[in-house]
Amino acid sequence: MIETKAALDKVYESAGHASIMINDIAEKSEQQMASINEMAEGLDQISTVVQTNSATSEETAAASEELNGQADLLMEQLAGLQLKDID
């Protein structure tokens, strides 16, 4: 009978330790989930910035080509002009 009680006490103690470990695992899992969510949010923000930068780069390239074309036209128009010597 004493051996049975000792064995049951040991089972009870082990169950208590297991319960504590399971609670610790659950807590750590929640912390990891929160960290993962923060990382996902950060990656979404980075993605948004990259997309905005890409669109801005395309707009800048188009504006640069337009200005280059206008500069070429101006150079053609200026090539036909001659300045008079004022002496």
Per-residue pLDDT of the chain (87 residues; tens, 9 = 90+): 788 888 888 988 999 999 999 999 999 999 999 999 999 999 999 999 999 999 999 999 999 999 999 999 999 888 888 777 776
Q: How far apart are CA 9 and CA 7, in angstroms?
A: 5
Cα dist. 32→19, 29, 37, 44, 47 in Å?
20, 5, 9, 18, 22
Please give the torsion angle defined by the CA atoms of residues 8, 14, 18 and 24, in that order, rounded to the nearest 10 degrees. 130
Element (H, E) at 55: helix 2-79
